[in-house]
Structure 1
Amino acid sequence: ILLGIQDALSDSDYAVVIRIASDAAERERLYQECCVRGRADGVLVVWMTATDAFVDRLDAESLHAVLLNALHPRLTSIGVDHDDAAVRAFEYCAGLGHRRIGLIDRRQDPFDPATPGICQRGYENAVAHTGYALVAEYERLAEPSASAGAAAIDALLELAEPPTAVVVASDAQAIGVLEAARATGRRVPEDLSVVGYNDTPVTRDLGVTTMHVPLRELGRVATESLLELLAEPATSPRARNLPTELMVRRTCAPPTVR
């Protein structure tokens, strides 16, 4: 994403100041900080929910913002269709013959435990479309980290009828899934098929089947949208999704046990 932002700003006079929030309180502090008059010309909010209070403050200061992988009706947003990506990942596993397909998800808002996972709706729609039974135990929410992915797959593999395939909502989680599965003696993909999400360089090197998310393009398009708002402040908010693509590699195969 940062490379895409850099691409879009290469011919401009703007520079990027990066702030990282580790919890909800820090997010609110950063929102207040960036709205101080003269502190910034515009704001890119990456994978964080824009609160109504933040949007009100933006309006009060006539400050423009664009969201990446988040939605608010009063702000322009650039993202991907997580529902569609989850459906295609699930249907790929089902097409290989898997009937017990799990989901290791990540929350839409990382700082709000009440929000659903980014892939939950698409996953559940795919389950219904294929005629499979929706098994609540097959859905797990976890932080987007390898350790959280490992803990989630450990819990799934302890079930009486564990999944033979799992759709994972981030490549970081998928790496943890691979490590934990192999630690329990499961072979990937013979005993467990794994589909990741993002298509990061590490998963490409490891041969992980994953949903490619055009991260650099997201950064570029979001930044270009912000530059357009700075040039034409009356531009109406809009939401745009960039396409994802299933990258088939070496971590999926037909199930050996049906």
Structure 2
Amino acid sequence: MTVSITDVARVAGVSASTVSRALRGRPGVSDEVRAQIAAVAGQLGYTASRSASSLASGRTFTIGVVAPHIGRWFFGTVLDAAETVFSAAGYDVLLYNLGSPEARKRFFTRLPVRKRVDAVLSLLIPDLEEEEALRSLGVPLATTVGGARDGFTVVGIDDHAGATSAVRHLVNLGHRRIGMISGESEPLHWTTPIARRQGYLDVLAEAGITHDPALEADGGYTVEGGERAMTELLAVSRPPTAVFAQSDEMAMGALRALRRHRLRAPDDVSVIGFDDHELAEVVGLTTIAQPVPAQGAEAARLLLRQLDEPVAEPAPTGHVRMPIRLVLRETTAPPSPRSPL
């Protein structure tokens, strides 16, 4: 026997319209009543008709997500948290992986999401033409990367401030030969490496430390790249006594390179990362923690909130800045006078 929304309303002791609002995540229903309705719907085995809801609302109940490198920890974690929020509200996710310039060009030329999604979550930074293409969709837009931009709700962190905190920590420990493992911003227009590098340079200047280009190496934001970059830094004539890696994955690669050279952190080289990866505590990595899952969940909630606003009063876009913090673990310490470096 098919269970209807009227059946759920009768058992829960509320109106059918209240059941509809509660199960679609719309405002006007208290958390207590929403939980009660969800419990009753689950007990009765009620499933809302997607086709009926779509016809009534004009929505597809699908959120488009465009992302580069979904296999990497940051993007995968953001996507997982966002999908959980979308799913709870009754929305499906349509994912486009734009990890290559060819895939990216094809997507923005064809815009296959048009009329197929109710909103778009972008995990990449579009150029000006790509921004205009996304705005032309006429749907709510959100992102978890980059700074504020017209038409987008941005949920992110202050990358410059995070890098500043990381490098200042090393300076305060007494280090003066401070290397950096970073990544290229092109061809995906990624501003994170630029902001974090500027934080590194600003702290060196603030401390009166002359910048040495030989102490920078490209790690490509991967473990393998971090290992290669650390090997390069160890080969310079005057290696660093401390290294700031712009991501925890690169920092983990740097630690592996140290082990292979029979060196240890922090006895020989201090290493600090950025992100607070789920394995950072396991390897004792000092890092700058950012709430990655919270960014994905918040961006998803803000998109859903915009969808629930009356058309005449759209929710304002803006920049939501999430907190960051320095997490002290075992890979940083003052420079050792016994260090072979």
Count of equivalent residues: 257
Which runs of no fewer than 5 residues in structure 1 stay unpaired? none
Q: Partner residue of 2:317?
A: 237
Q: Partner residue of 2:259?
A: 182
Aligned mate of 1:92, from 140, 144, 169:
169
Q: Return the offset for 1:161.
A: 1.1
Question: Equivalences for 1:94-133 in 2 at 5 Å?
Answer: 94-108=171-185, 111-112=188-189, 117-133=194-210
Q: Quote the Cα distance in structure 2 between the aligned partners of 1:115 and 1:5.
A: 21
Q: Partner residue of 2:144?
A: 68
Question: Equivalences for 1:38-57 in 2 at 5 Å?
Answer: 38-46=115-123, 48-57=124-133
Q: Quote the Cα distance in structure 2 between the aligned partners of 1:37 and 1:20.
A: 16
Secondary structure of 2:272's partner? strand
Q: Return the offset for 1:196.
A: 1.0
Q: Quote the Cα distance in structure 2 between the aligned partners of 1:115 and 1:251.
A: 23
8 Å Cα contact 1:50/1:72 also seen in 2: no
Matched, 1:163 2:163: no
Question: Equivalences for 1:8-27 in 2 at 5 Å?
Answer: 8-27=85-104
Which runs of no fewer than 5 residues in structure 2 stay unpaired? 1-77
Relative to structure 1, the CA distance from residue 156 to residue 177 in structure 2 (aligned partners, 3 Å threshold; closer, same or farther) is same
Secondary structure of 2:96's partner? coil
**Identical counterparts, % of pairs:** 29
User: Which has the higher Rg, Structure 1 or Structure 2?
Assistant: 2
Aligned mate of 2:305, from 205, 211, 228:
228
Matched, 1:197 2:274: yes
Secondary structure of 1:117's partner? helix
Q: Partner residue of 1:219?
A: 296
Counterpart code for 1:30: F
124-133 vs 20-29, greater mean Cα deviation: 20-29
Secondary structure of 1:17's partner? strand
8 Å Cα contact 1:49/1:109 also seen in 2: no
Q: Quote the Cα distance in structure 2 between the aligned partners of 1:105 and 1:206.
A: 20
Q: Return the offset for 1:110.
A: 5.6
CA RMSD, aligned part only? 2.2
Question: Equivalences for 1:140-155 in 2 at 5 Å?
Answer: 140-155=217-232
Superimposed CA distance per residue, residues 136-164 of structure 1 (whole angstroms, 9 cap, x where no aligned partner): 22222331111111111111111111110
Q: Normalization by structure 2: what TM-score?
A: 0.70
Superimposed CA distance per residue, residues 22-72 of structure 1 (whole angstroms, 9 cap, x where no aligned partner): 2122123334555543221111111x2112222222332212211112235
Q: Partner residue of 2:336?
A: 256
8 Å Cα contact 2:127/2:189 also seen in 1: no
Secondary structure of 1:207's partner? coil
